[in-house]
Amino acid sequence: MVFQFSGYTVLYSLAFVICSLSAFLSFRIRRAPGGTWLFLMTLATAVWSLADAVDYSSVTLAVHVTAAQFAYLGSVAPVLLLLFALKYSGRARESMGWRTAVLFAVPVISIVAAFTNRFHHLVWAGFTLLADRPNLVVYQHGPVFWVVTIYSLAVALVAMLLLVNTAVTSHGIYRVQGAAIALASVFPWLAGVVYVFSPGWLVGFDPALTFTVTCAILSWALWRLRLLDLVLVPREVIIEKMADGLLVLDSAARILEINPAAVRLLDLERMPTLGTVAGEVFSDWSQRGRDAVTAVYEQRASTLASPAGTLLRVERSRLEGASDGQARDLFILRDITGQVEAEQALQGAYADLQARMEEIEKLHEELQEQATRDPLTGLHNRRYLAEELDRELGRASRDGRPVSVIMFDVDHFKDVNDSYGHSAGDAMLRAVAVELLVGTRRGDIACRYGGDEFVVVLPDTTAAVALARAEGWRTRLSQVMAASGERRSKVTVSLGVATFPAHGTTIDELVGAADRAVYASKSAGRDRVSVASGASGQQDPAPVV
């Protein structure tokens, strides 16, 4: 007979059943943080318990040894417990990569050594089969056993400390879950210590039994405490104290989580019960408000106004990794009332600033115009003449083209003011300005030089052409001024022409030459045009009749 069933058979078979049940329950939530490691740990413990059941039921040494070798597959359980603790406590939120492989190095080496023990005897130096109890074997342990045992105790101690710390720092249902897991982690470590230092204290005792207790506690936590159904980072930091509202809904739009900030921002009277359909929470809102909520939920809008007038920006994201394989919707509510009001105020201020800037620009243009315009005649003033004539002379110098200047002076203008008043003189000056504007070409520059003197700059114009145009102006201006006063009077103008570069190469030289030509006209009897001395084909000024 190869097997002899005993109380040990029942004990370790029961341990196998419990671990298998735990593996089944944890497999359903393997996608949750730490769920995969929990499933693998319970599975490894189940294999360990089954191997012990066979070991304590056999009566031949060969079966004992083979079962003991398979039992070494459970040596990975402490490492899996540590990996679960790291994930559950939030200490390893990302993949650990090569560090995971390092943690498994010692257990894997011990498993290989167990199955090859007959070649080196590093795991078991020998075996003693008890004559009176053939289902029990005394193993003489080798150095590999002590290495993997001490390593397992150290790993289990770290896992226990992590889980105890998580239980202490959590609250509510998460504290109960953490306490259960911490309690479950204590048993393997204590059992390992007893097994190492008091091997004869309990005959037939194996650490697989204490890992079975761990699996039993975890199974109860999975069933009663919804362990790993949704693992959150510390609630007091992320949920309870955050200024933004947080709302988690499942696929049926039921509330899985909501924080006080969300209750306040949504203007709710009380904290909703978890599991409540979100639509019931907003039943007190107006139809318009409920429609706005629906638009946000259907992602047709990203802002929501509460009944209290708080404007909220809603950010929606998907939470993957739920125990049932279904994704959850996470809504973050942020109060943007102040931001919107500030933006509106800023826009108003910007619009006002724009209006003011346009007004300032308009005033600036007006000031610029006033600075370069004569207020009486509307012609450009002497300052503008200096700027533009300097520019024209520079262009003419580069291009080799002529620029002519015609200067006008009203004859006996003082007599007009004395005889008819200054208003009549002003009217005469305005009449001269109108005639000049009508008679100038595009590009010509007509200016009031001062008093009753006027200057017209004629770009790209020779002295001969300028003389002809001056004669035309003399005739028309004499007619205009004669009819501008309250009484008809014989008023004439004297004109002088100067051309760049023949009569000057600078502003002062050219204007001075034109001015001297005007005086030449006046000296010759007025009412005539004179060309500055030195002009080609110049004729002596003579009266025009």
- If you average pLDDT over residues 23-46, what whole number do you get? 83
Q: Is the peptide bond before 78 cis (omega within 30 degrees of 0)?
A: no
Helices 143-169 and 105-115, interaxial angle, to 10°?
150
With the C-alpha atoms ordered 252, 256, 259, 264, is the resulting torsion angle positive or negative?
positive
CATH architecture of 7-224: Up-down Bundle (1.20)
What's the per-residue H, E or C state across 190-206? HHHHHHHHCCCCCCCCC
Give the least confident one: 34-48, 66-80, 418-432, 529-543. 529-543
C-alpha–C-alpha distance, residues 211 and 77, integer Å: 8
C-alpha–C-alpha distance, residues 470 and 478, integer Å: 12
Task: Indicate if the pLDDT at residue 125 is higher than 80.
Answer: yes
Q: Are 163 and 185 in contact (CB under 8 A)?
A: yes
**pLDDT single digits (tens) 495-535:** 999 999 999 999 999 999 999 999 999 999 888 999 998 64
Report the pLDDT value the prediction gives residue 228, as an integer from 0 to 100. 63
Output DSSP code: residue 441: P
Q: Are 499 and 535 in contact (CB under 8 A)?
A: yes
Report the pLDDT value the prediction gives residue 498, as an integer from 0 to 100. 96
Task: Indicate if the pLDDT at residue 156 is higher than 90.
Answer: no
Report the pLDDT value the prediction gives residue 543, as an integer from 0 to 100. 40
Report the pLDDT value the prediction gives residue 115, as an integer from 0 to 100. 93
If phi over 0 gives left and psi between -120 and 50 gives alpha, with beta otherwise, what is residue 357? alpha
**pLDDT single digits (tens) 369-416:** 777 888 888 888 888 888 889 999 999 999 999 999 999 888 888 888
Report the pLDDT value the prediction gives residue 184, as an integer from 0 to 100. 76
Task: Indicate if the pLDDT at residue 541 is higher than 50.
Answer: no
Q: Does domain 235-335 have CATH number 3.30.450.20?
A: yes
Show me where the domains of the chain are located: 7-224, 235-335, 382-531
Average pLDDT value for the chain:
82
Give the least confident one: 61-70, 180-189, 271-280, 414-423. 180-189
* pLDDT band at 442; cut points 50, 70, 90: confident
Q: Are 435 and 483 in contact (CB under 8 A)?
A: no
Q: Is 331 helix (H, G, I), strand (E, B) or coil?
A: strand
Which CATH number is correct for 382-531, 3.40.50.300, 3.40.50.10420, 1.10.3720.10, 3.30.70.270? Answer: 3.30.70.270
- If you average pLDDT over residues 256-284, what whole number do you get? 86
* pLDDT band at 542; cut points 50, 70, 90: very low
**pLDDT single digits (tens) 283-333:** 888 888 888 888 888 888 888 888 888 898 988 888 876 555 677 888 999
Task: Indicate if the pLDDT at residue 122 is higher than 50.
Answer: yes
C-alpha–C-alpha distance, residues 414 and 424, integer Å: 11
Closest-CA residue to 249 (of 301, 314, 189, 345): 314
